């Protein structure tokens, strides 16, 4: 794992223009990478450079192309365009096995270790030291102990893997990756389920590896962590490279701006009228006091939501904005805190309780948690109302058809008929069906988590209008969107989340892109 | 030129729509198989449609099939619901039948292994038997819905232990219930010309159909089976719904057990309903239901069950030995699996398309 040879090789045959930073030219470089999927341009002319002995943050919001880039690099997807150079030599990575051959290892969020084998067995799985055709257990355990000690991982080589915490298991996965002559290590959101101490332990290991001249790609949503440990950063947005630089040259605010898109539109059609008096006079429709669903999901928060307001929840992906609303709705179990509906203390044990208290929740992931793919549009529309009414008060066929008809017309849902399975509708129309499902239950407080993601522009505008109309009718709406201008157009108040915590509430003059992004970025202003 | 195009378009739409509705309709496959069996019978068995009255009972080829299929039909109903809700299959039906029948036998016979006096009222014994079935179903359902274990693995417990438990209930013996009233459920109620098994299975089908149609049970089960997470977010308690289907399955298997033991007048926990769960799974698949859960068709499953029985009866009539029967069933399974595979479906699609394009070129 010494760097001398690499440095010698890296300069020949390469144009100097690509070595845009640092004194040494990068050891791994991807140039002009393009990748398309049917209907989507996932990566467009992206350059990526990784030096040995650096920790390189790869940042971007959902759909930015991070995972596609990693999958291209590790040979999971073939690339459509572009070249990969390792140590200055053009390299073709056609399969994950190829990637491993070139010293590229990945540790995914879901660990692919064997929990019921020992630590040593996991470390040496598939390349156990042999002695006369049999596994040399003694040698294997010794080697494992040596490796663990070298990397300061506090684990016994002979203990069963699942007797350790996820954090230690993750480190063992990293140790395994490093042990296979790895020069480049990709860590895909390794910290998402770790607590603060465990993250510190992981960082120690990462620093150690950096010292050993391993080039680490660190994918995370936690801004703090990026600034704590990374040397350089690459930011992607919508499949394009937007920034590659030293971390100290990119202030937090700039980073957030680059991730979220910096085109600040003129918000001429901002027609939010806020009646300030409601905040003092009225009892909130919903109030949360110190509500929390556990440290790794969302830290305790206080929140008041009033009648007829649209409240926005902003923050980067993984900031806890979805977890917060899920806790309110009872989709994630609240482990502490109180909830009040119109001033009355209520206990929401499950989603049905929330629905009975007048809540509705449109989930972020339409496919996994929203639609009932094989059921018809009609059934998808009436299911929530039917669930609320219970088993024996079945809606008659006629009622169902009338409701479905009403909402198909109201929301302008384009479907061949009520009986068409929802899965054959377009994304935008599927989303409208889910909206219809919740409108039918006549909720007082609607939670819309990314209702406009991945749907066409026309439908987007329709949904924004609908949100404002609902507020006009006296309903309260919680609105989450990755697009700031969309939120600014509709929300009268925006709650900002960062790293699983509620960090601010913005109103009035603070409701502008600049302030929101500064709050999201946190740290030095 | 434009005229021709319009014609082609029309031709395509009618052709494709017929082909589509035939291939997409889940009943098509089972109906076709049933038709094949019936036609085969009409050719080989002259008296296939004959119905006579013997000993005060309507009898003949078809009533015979309906009678013999009744246990399978009842179990298949339960299997359909369990499959739809949990996306897996419960293989303990035969064992549950034995347990339920043993409970019933215990109530009727007490400690005696052969008697013609009921020790408790028949209706009470029936209820206790069904409760025994419900208990078994609840056990499976608890493991599946609360502990999130796969149904087939879960039901392996009772599949293995059920018959031994049943044997313990009857003190390790086959018990004989000589009171003629006992045969009311499985043979005939005096004065009624139709076999009770046919009445019971028909009534059960009607009750389950009404349950899924008049209440929201059917919708809830499909919803949970299609997408557990979505169902939870719209306020459905998916584990309760799954549990319910397993309890129902237990009760239905219990009923099948009571019918089965009544028809032979004894409780033999080693033999009762042996292998019925596999036929039930086959019936569910034959009925065009997705074994991975979700949408279900009770009509399809029932047709599937009768088809299997018709095949069995037909093969027996053709002097196929019992030990050869399974080979034929295996052949049917192969056909179902292949016909439902994605590769085969894609091939068929391409095939119909090429046929269609040939038609057009000929027509043009």
A488 neighbors A469 (Cβ within 8 angstroms): no
Nearest residue of B to residue A360 by CA position? B234
A173 neighbors A93 (Cβ within 8 angstroms): no
Burial readout A40-58 (b: 16 or more C-beta within 10 A, e: otherwise): eebbbebebbbbbbbbbbb
Nearest residue of B to residue A367 by CA position? B230
pLDDT at A263: 46
Mean pLDDT across chain B: 86
Q: What are A478's strand-pairing partners?
A: A311, A447
Q: What is the pLDDT of residues B5-56, one digit of tens each?
A: 444 444 455 666 666 565 556 677 778 888 888 888 888 877 778 888 887 8
- Parallel, antiparallel, or unpaired for β A240-246 and B51-54? unpaired
Instruction: Say how far residue A394 (Cα) sits from the centre of its chain.
Output: 39
The owner of tokens 């989709």 is A331
Q: Please, what is the end-to-end C-alpha distance for chain B in angstroms?
A: 10
User: Which of the residues B85, B218, B230 would you substitute to probe the A interface, choosing the one with the greatest number of A C-beta atoms within 10 Å?
Assistant: B230
Decide if B229 and A372 are in contact by the 8 Å CB cutoff: no
Nearest residue of B to residue A369 by CA position? B230
Q: What share of chain A is helix, strand, coil (3-state, %, to 5)?
A: 40, 25, 40
- Parallel, antiparallel, or unpaired for β A104-107 and A184-188? parallel
Query: Which positions 279-338 of B are in contact with A (Cβ < 8 Å)?
Result: 294-295
**Token pair listed for A399:** 């009622």
**Token pair listed for B156:** 């392996």
Three-class secondary structure assignment of A307-324: CCCEEEEECCCCCCHHHH
Residue A305 φ then ψ, to 5°: -125, 130
Query: Which positions 321-380 of A are in contact with B (Cβ < 8 Å)?
Result: 331, 350-352, 354-355, 361, 363, 368-375, 379
Cβ of B350: how many Cβ atoms within 10 Å? 10
Decide if A331 and B216 are in contact by the 8 Å CB cutoff: no
pLDDT at B361: 46
Q: How far away is chain A from the Cα of B130, in angstroms, using its nearest Cα?
A: 23
pLDDT at B339: 76
The whole-angstrom separation of Cα B267 and Cα B174 is 6
Q: What are A235's strand-pairing partners?
A: A59, A243
Chain B residues with CB-CB distance to A331 below 8 A = 232-233
Chain B residues with CB-CB distance to A386 below 8 A = 216, 219
- Residue B116 reports pLDDT greater than 60: yes
H helices present in chain B, as ranges: 2-24, 26-44, 61-86, 93-109, 122-145, 151-169, 196-214, 217-226, 228-233, 238-264, 276-286, 298-317, 322-340, 342-363
Sheet of strand A28-37: strand arrangement: A40-50, A28-37, A81-86, A89-91
The owner of tokens 């799954």 is B242
Residue B102 to residues B115, B131, B278: CA-CA distances in angstroms? 15, 12, 22
pLDDT at B22: 59
Decide if A387 and B226 are in contact by the 8 Å CB cutoff: no
Quick one: what percent of chain B has pLDDT higher than 90? 51
B187 neighbors B195 (Cβ within 8 angstroms): yes
Q: How far away is chain A from the Cα of B24, in angstroms, using its nearest Cα?
A: 12
Q: What is the pLDDT of residues B183-223, one digit of tens each?
A: 899 888 888 889 999 999 999 999 999 999 889 999 999 99
Decide if A369 and B236 are in contact by the 8 Å CB cutoff: no
The whole-angstrom separation of Cα A448 and Cα A364 is 8
pLDDT at B172: 85
Ordered DSSP codes for A248-296: GGS-HHHHHHHHH-------TT------THHHHHSPPSEEEEEEES-TT
Element (H, E) at A477: strand A476-480
Cβ of A367: how many Cβ atoms within 10 Å? 14
| Phi-psi category of residue A106: left, alpha or beta, with phi > 0 → left and psi -120 to 50 → alpha | beta
The owner of tokens 């809830």 is B220
Q: How far away is chain A from the Cα of B247, in angstroms, using its nearest Cα?
A: 16
DSSP state for residue A394 in the 8-state scheme: P
Nearest residue of B to residue A354 by CA position? B235
- Parallel, antiparallel, or unpaired for β A232-237 and A55-59? parallel
DSSP state for residue A376 in the 8-state scheme: B
Nearest neighbour of B235 by CB, restricted to A374, A387, A394: A387
The whole-angstrom separation of Cα A14 and Cα A10 is 8
Regions in chain A scoring below 50 on pLDDT: 1-23, 263-274, 524-525
User: Which of the residues B87, B233, B289 would you substitute to probe the A interface, choosing the one with the greatest number of A C-beta atoms within 10 Å?
Assistant: B233
Q: Please, what is the end-to-end C-alpha distance for chain A in angstroms?
A: 40
Element (H, E) at B115: strand B114-115
Residue B18 to residues B12, B15, B234: CA-CA distances in angstroms? 10, 5, 36
**Token pair listed for B182:** 């006992």
Residue A477 to residues A211, A310, A366, A422, A464: CA-CA distances in angstroms? 50, 5, 18, 25, 11
**Token pair listed for A158:** 């002979």
Chain B residues with CB-CB distance to A383 below 8 A = 219, 223, 234, 236
CB contact, 8 Å: B26 with chain A?
no
pLDDT at A10: 41
Residue A425 to residues A371, A374, A453, A515: CA-CA distances in angstroms? 11, 11, 16, 39
Decide if A387 and B220 are in contact by the 8 Å CB cutoff: yes
User: Which of the residues B20, B87, B234 would you substitute to probe the A interface, choosing the one with the greatest number of A C-beta atoms within 10 Å?
Assistant: B234
Nearest neighbour of A384 by CB, restricted to B217, B235, B237: B235
Chain B residues with CB-CB distance to A403 below 8 A = none
Decide if B226 and A374 are in contact by the 8 Å CB cutoff: yes
- Residue B100 reports pLDDT greater than 80: yes
Query: Which positions 67-86 of B are in contact with A (Cβ < 8 Å)?
Result: none
Nearest residue of B to residue A438 by CA position? B234
A291 neighbors A501 (Cβ within 8 angstroms): no
- Residue B114 reports pLDDT greater than 80: yes
A2 neighbors A27 (Cβ within 8 angstroms): no
- Residue B118 reports pLDDT greater than 80: yes
Nearest residue of B to residue A392 by CA position? B215
DSSP state for residue A25 in the 8-state scheme: P
The whole-angstrom separation of Cα B215 and Cα B217 is 5
Sheet of strand A286-292: strand arrangement: A301-305, A286-292, A336-341, A344-346
Decide if A371 and B230 are in contact by the 8 Å CB cutoff: yes
Residue A246 φ then ψ, to 5°: -70, 145
B306 neighbors B73 (Cβ within 8 angstroms): yes
The whole-angstrom separation of Cα B145 and Cα B155 is 13
Q: What are A50's strand-pairing partners?
A: A28
A298 neighbors A327 (Cβ within 8 angstroms): yes
Decide if A369 and B294 are in contact by the 8 Å CB cutoff: no
The whole-angstrom separation of Cα B131 and Cα B126 is 9
Give the number of beta-carbon pairs within 8 Å between A and B.
74
In angstroms and rounded to an integer, the radius of gyration of the C-alpha atoms of chain A is 26
CA angle B179, B184, B190 (to 5 degrees): 100
pLDDT at A24: 57
Q: How far away is chain B from the Cα of A385, in angstroms, using its nearest Cα?
A: 8
Element (H, E) at A166: helix A166-179
Nearest residue of A to residue B213 by CA position? A394
DSSP state for residue A452 in the 8-state scheme: T
Please compute the mean of the pLDDT values over residues B165-181 and round it to a whole number. Answer: 89
The whole-angstrom separation of Cα B16 and Cα B42 is 33
Query: Which positions 188-247 of B are in contact with A (Cβ < 8 Å)?
Result: 214-217, 219-220, 222-223, 226-227, 229-237
């Amino acid at each position: 794992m010494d760097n001398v040879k690499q440095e010698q090789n890296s300069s020949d045959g390469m144009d100097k223009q690509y070595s845009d930073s640092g004194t040494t030219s990068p050891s791994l470089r991807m140039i002009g990478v393009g990748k398309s999927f049917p209907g989507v341009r996932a990566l467009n002319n992206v350059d990526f450079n990784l030096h040995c002995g650096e920790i390189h943050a790869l940042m971007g919001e959902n759909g930015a192309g991070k995972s596609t880039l990693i999958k291209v690099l590790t040979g999971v997807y073939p690339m459509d365009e572009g070249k990969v150079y390792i140590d200055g030599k053009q390299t073709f990575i056609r399969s994950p096995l190829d990637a491993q051959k070139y010293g590229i290892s990945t540790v995914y969020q879901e660990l692919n270790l064997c929990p019921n084998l020992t630590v040593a067995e996991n470390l040496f799985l598939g390349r156990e030291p042999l002695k006369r055709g049999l596994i040399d257990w003694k040698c294997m355990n010794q080697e494992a102990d040596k490796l663990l000690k070298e990397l300061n991982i506090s684990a016994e080589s002979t203990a069963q893997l699942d007797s350790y915490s996820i954090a230690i298991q993750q480190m063992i996965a990293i140790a395994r990756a490093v042990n296979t002559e790895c020069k480049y290590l990709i860590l895909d959101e390794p910290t998402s389920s770790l607590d603060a101490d465990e993250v510190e332990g992981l960082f120690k290991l990462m620093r150690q590896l950096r010292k050993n001249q391993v080039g680490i790609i660190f994918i995370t949503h936690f801004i703090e962590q990026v600034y704590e440990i990374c040397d350089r950063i690459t930011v992607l947005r919508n499949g394009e490279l937007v920034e590659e630089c030293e971390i100290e040259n990119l202030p937090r605010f700039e980073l957030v701006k680059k991730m979220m898109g910096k085109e600040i539109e003129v918000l001429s059609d901002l027609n939010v009228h806020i009646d300030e008096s409601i905040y003092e006079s009225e009892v909130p429709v919903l109030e949360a006091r110190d509500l929390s669903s556990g440290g790794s999901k969302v830290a305790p928060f206080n929140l008041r939501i009033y009648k007829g307001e649209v409240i926005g929840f902003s923050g980067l992906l993984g900031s806890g904005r979805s977890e917060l609303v899920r806790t309110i709705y009872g989709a994630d179990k609240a482990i502490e805190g109180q909830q009040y509906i119109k001033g009355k203390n209520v206990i929401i044990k499950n989603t049905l309780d929330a629905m009975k208290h007048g809540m509705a929740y449109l989930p972020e992931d339409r496919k996994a948690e929203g639609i009932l793919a094989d059921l018809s549009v009609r059934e998808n529309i009436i299911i929530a109302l039917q669930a609320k009414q219970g088993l024996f008060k079945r809606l008659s066929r006629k009622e169902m058809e009338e409701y479905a008809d009403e909402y198909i017309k109201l929301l302008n849902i384009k479907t061949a008929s009520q009986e068409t399975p929802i899965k054959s509708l377009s994304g935008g129309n599927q989303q409208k069906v889910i909206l219809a499902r919740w409108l039918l239950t006549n909720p007082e407080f609607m939670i819309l988590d990314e209702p406009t993601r991945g749907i066409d522009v026309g439908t987007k505008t329709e949904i924004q209008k609908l949100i404002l109309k609902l507020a006009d009718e006296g309903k309260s709406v919680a609105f989450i969107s990755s697009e700031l201008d969309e939120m600014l157009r509709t929300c009268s108040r925006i709650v900002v989340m960062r790293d699983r915590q509620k960090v601010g509430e913005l109103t009035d003059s603070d409701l502008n892109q600049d302030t929101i992004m500064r709050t999201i970025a946190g740290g030095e202003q | 030129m434009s005229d021709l195009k319009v014609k082609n378009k029309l031709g395509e739409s009618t052709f494709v729509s017929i082909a589509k509705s035939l291939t997409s309709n889940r009943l098509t496959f089972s109906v076709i198989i049933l038709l094949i069996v019936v036609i085969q019978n009409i050719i080989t068995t002259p008296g296939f449609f004959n119905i006579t009255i013997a000993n005060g009972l309507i009898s003949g080829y078809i009533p015979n099939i309906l009678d013999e299929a009744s246990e399978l039909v009842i179990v298949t109903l339960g299997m359909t619901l369990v499959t739809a809700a949990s996306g897996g299959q419960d293989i303990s039906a035969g064992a549950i039948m034995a347990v339920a029948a043993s409970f019933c036998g215990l109530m009727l016979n007490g400690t005696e292994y052969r008697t013609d006096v009921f020790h408790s009222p028949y209706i009470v014994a029936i209820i206790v038997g069904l409760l025994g079935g419900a208990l078994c179903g609840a056990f499976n359902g608890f493991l599946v819905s609360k502990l999130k274990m796969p149904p087939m693995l879960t039901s392996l417990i009772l599949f293995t232990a059920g018959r031994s438990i049943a044997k313990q209930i009857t003190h390790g013996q086959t018990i004989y219930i000589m009171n003629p009233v006992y045969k009311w459920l499985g043979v005939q109620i005096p004065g009624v010309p139709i076999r009770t098994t046919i009445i019971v299975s028909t009534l059960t089908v009607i009750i389950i159909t009404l349950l899924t149609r008049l209440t929201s049970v059917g919708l809830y089960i499909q919803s949970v089976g299609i997408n557990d997470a979505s169902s939870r977010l719209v306020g459905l308690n998916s584990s309760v719904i799954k549990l319910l289907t397993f309890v129902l399955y237990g009760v239905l298997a219990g009923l099948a057990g009571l019918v089965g033991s009544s028809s032979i007048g004894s409780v033999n926990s080693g033999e009762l309903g042996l292998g019925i769960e596999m036929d039930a799974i086959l019936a569910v698949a034959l009925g065009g239901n997705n074994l991975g859960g979700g949408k279900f068709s009770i009509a399809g499953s029932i047709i599937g069950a009768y088809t299997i029985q018709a095949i069995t009866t037909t093969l027996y009539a053709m002097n196929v030995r019992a030990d050869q029967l399974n080979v034929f069933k295996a052949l049917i399974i192969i056909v179902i699996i292949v016909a439902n595979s994605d590769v085969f479906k894609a091939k068929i699609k391409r095939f119909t398309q090429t046929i269609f394009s040939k038609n057009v070129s000929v027509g043009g």
